[in-house]
Amino acid sequence: MKHRRITKRRAAVAGAGIAALVAAGVTFQTANASETTKAPAPQPLSITAAGKLASTLGKDLGTDAAGTYYDAKTKQLVVNVLDEATAKTVQAAGAKARIVENSLAELKSARTTLKQDATIPGTSWVTDPQTNQVVVTADRTVSKTELAKLTKVVDGLGATVELQRTKGEFKPFIAGGDAITGSGGRCSLGFNVVKGGQPYFITAGHCTEAISTWTDSSGNQIGTNEQSSFPGNDFGLVKYTSSVAHPSEVDLYNGSAQAITKAADATVGQKVTRSGSTTQVHDGTVTGLDATVNYGNGDIVNGLIQTDVCAEPGDSGGSLFSGDSAVGLTSGGSGDCTSGGETFFQPVTEALSTFGAQIG
């Protein structure tokens, strides 16, 4: 069992990153103590400002930081640190410091051990900055023997890992936006994009692996696959082959639509909305990043956004967004929109980068 401890380190403050924040207009606080000595509360930040601050502090602090998340109630960025010196740096930059035990290196090492020794269908794991642990979840398909193996590995990792069970079953939601269909089933359109001046749309990779030619809800052919990546990733690119309208917006299923003007990375604690052709529109919160999900049959996907938003078969590929920002593509999860559940999303920014496409 790992001994619990607080690691003492000196914070290395990179002046260039802090200066950039000043130039960007971020309000700094004068702080002489960490959160444990009741330092002045940071000023409220929007989710966009918090994301930028998190990115800059992550680069400046390096291994002295141990994860970040957004507190939607107080509108503050919370930064996990390993010592008082780093806490003062965080507070000076306008964020809330929280001293924790486990470093990112220790959490990464735990994930590596899980990958090597506990790759079991029906499991997922994600680094949770709010608990400062790697949270491992086993669904109802995991057998007693497999659970015993998983428990042994988790116990060996001590305080860095927590094991949970879910009554649901992790599975891709094949059966965002409007319904798109083909000979292999039904999915949902994620976001309209532009590549090389031509119109395309993106959806889940497990959808484009099963279906190559797409039609709309009226049976009219609208597109054919251009690129697909699943497992490992879960995104696909489809080229429009008809003159159907393709505005950069998401169907809200109430007669209106949300305009989408850009793509953005998710932040833990961020409020998000999902649109899909089975269960339409549902809201929730980002609960983890860089999640690994084992859907079974060798279908393991990495780097996913974990949320408490519900979804069901047919919602796959649909849109996850926050305001006018595209955030994710529905991959899979457990539960449903009656009893609740959790859903994982492929980050949109990674898909766009891979495809060389832009929101539009």
Q: Which residues are catalytic?
A: 206, 234, 316
Buried b (16+ CB within 10 A) or exposed e, 256-269: eebebeebbbbbbb
Residue 124 pairs in a beta bridge with 137, 293
Angle in degrees, CA 342, 278, 353, rounded to 5: 65
Contact predicate 99/82, CB 8 Å: yes
On the 0-12 / 13-18 / 19+ scale of CB atoms within 10 A, 7 is middle
User: Treating both helix axes as pointing N-terminal to C-terminal, what angle do 104-117 and 144-156 enclose, rounded to 10 degrees?
Assistant: 150
Measured distance CA(290)–CA(295) in Å, rounded = 16
Indicate the residue type of 53: L
Contact predicate 202/235, CB 8 Å: yes
Going from the C-alpha of 327 to that of each of 4, 48, 130, 227, 245, the distances in angstroms are 36, 13, 21, 20, 22
Tokens representing 306 are 């974990």
Nearest to 218 by CA among 178, 174, 275: 178
